[in-house]
Amino acid sequence: MATLRAKLAPYALVLPAGLWLLLFFVVPMVAMLSLSLQQGDLLEGYQQTWHWRTYTDAISTYDKQIIRSLEYGLITTVAQVVLAFPIGYYIAFKAGRNKSTYLFILLLPFFVSFVLRTISWQFILTDDGMVLSRLKHWGLVAENFHILGTPTAVVFGLTYNYLPFMVLPIYVALERIDPRLMEAARDLYANPVQVFGRVVFPLALPGVFAGVLMTFVPASADYVNSTVLGSSSTTMIGNVVQFQYLSSQNYPTASALSFALMAILLVGIFVYARILGTEDVMTVAAR
């Protein structure tokens, strides 16, 4: 009796959460796939017709936005690695007792709503806002210069919003490096560049991989930054999906695009994890 109960205990504990995730995460993914292969409209109802053309049509119509999203995601990710690495390095090796304080400060932006932060940047960067009006007054930029509405503004916003997700995994990876390895390298006459390139960076790579995973995916699927800071020429695939779902309610096309986006990102992640070794990525990402 007691052993049976002990055997069933884990299943009883998993059941409620497991059912919730099954019903509201796994099943909806299948529902979305199914909806993308249906035809019909809201009034007449939808019929399952296995209409794969929805995919080819949707992708060829919105290929520009898809490529643009991946492009912005890529630039954002590269910019973040460059920006985040020195910070992770500083906190891991130089911050001493203040490590947790620094990490806490890095997470401060998350106490303000994502939308509100992005809108705050819009407010700061508008053409007659606090930054540009001053720069124009001093004659540092041309009168017709503007930031909002450009791809730069969107990438800027994306980089800003996801930066802590890049710093944290890099920090975790660097933190685990035994400082004696660096000492050994120095004692063997490696110059600082060599110590970094041959010892520190390779050992930090799992953190970089995890960070890339945690920023590239959400950045390429984002539509908030592009809506608030961009213009019609910076439309990303997220904007299209959001518009198709919520405004034109063209569900088959919308779910096809959304599914295609996920497939592209999944294939990307898979290839990436394959090349770089899954386990390291997973273990660091799971932290």
Residues 144 to 203: which contact other proteins by CB under 8 A? Answer: 160, 163-164, 181, 184-185, 187-189, 192, 198-199, 202-203
Q: DSSP state, 110?
A: G
d(CA 8, CA 5): 5
Pattern 60-79, binding to other proteins, x per CB under 8 A?
--------------------
Beta carbon of residue 184, minimum distance to other proteins (angstroms, whole number): 5
* Residue 239 near residue 225, CB atoms below 8 Å: no
Options 57-65, 110-118, 135-143, 146-154: segment touching other proteins (CB under 8 A): 110-118
* H-type alpha helices, 98-223: 99-107, 114-125, 132-137, 151-175, 179-187, 192-194, 201-220
Report the nearest approach of other proteins to the CB of residue 257 (Å).
9
Binds other proteins (CB under 8 A): choice among 40, 51, 71, 102: 102
Of 81, 141, 262, 276, which one interacts with other proteins (CB under 8 A)?
262
Task: Note whether 91 binds other proteins by CB under 8 A.
Answer: yes
Q: Which positions from 3 to 32 touch other proteins by CB under 8 A, shown as an x/- string?
A: --x---xxx-xx-xxx-xxx-xxxxxx-xx
Tokens representing 266 are: 């999944």
SS3 content of the chain, % helix, strand, coil (to 5): 80, 5, 20
Interacting stretch for other proteins, rule CB under 8 A, among 49-57, 89-97, 137-145, 147-155?
89-97
Using the rule CB under 8 A, which residue among 52, 110, 145, 270 binds other proteins? 110
* Binding segment toward other proteins, per CB under 8 A, in 57-65, 123-131, 137-145, 147-155: 123-131
Residue window 221-260: x/- pattern of binding to other proteins, with contact defined by CB under 8 A: xxxx---x---------x--xx--xx----x--xx--xx-
- CA distances 22 to 16, 19, 30, 39, 260, Å, are 10, 5, 11, 26, 21
Q: Whole-number minimum distance, CB 62 to other proteins, in Å?
A: 14
SS3 of 146-173:
CCCCCHHHHHHHHHHHHHHHHHHHHHHH
Q: Are 208 and 172 in contact (CB under 8 A)?
A: no
Query: Least distance in Å: CB of 154 to other proteins?
Result: 15
Q: Residues 70, 166, 212, 217: which binds other proteins (CB under 8 A)?
A: 217
3-state DSSP assignment of residue 1: coil
In three-state secondary structure terms, 45 is: strand
Q: What is the total count of residues that contact other proteins (CB under 8 A)?
A: 96
Options 86, 140, 145, 248; binder of other proteins; rule CB under 8 A: 86
Spatial distance between the Cα atoms of 201 and 199, rounded to a whole number of angstroms? 6
| Closest CB to other proteins among residues 19, 140 | 19
Residue 173 contacts residue 284 (beta carbons within 8 Å): yes
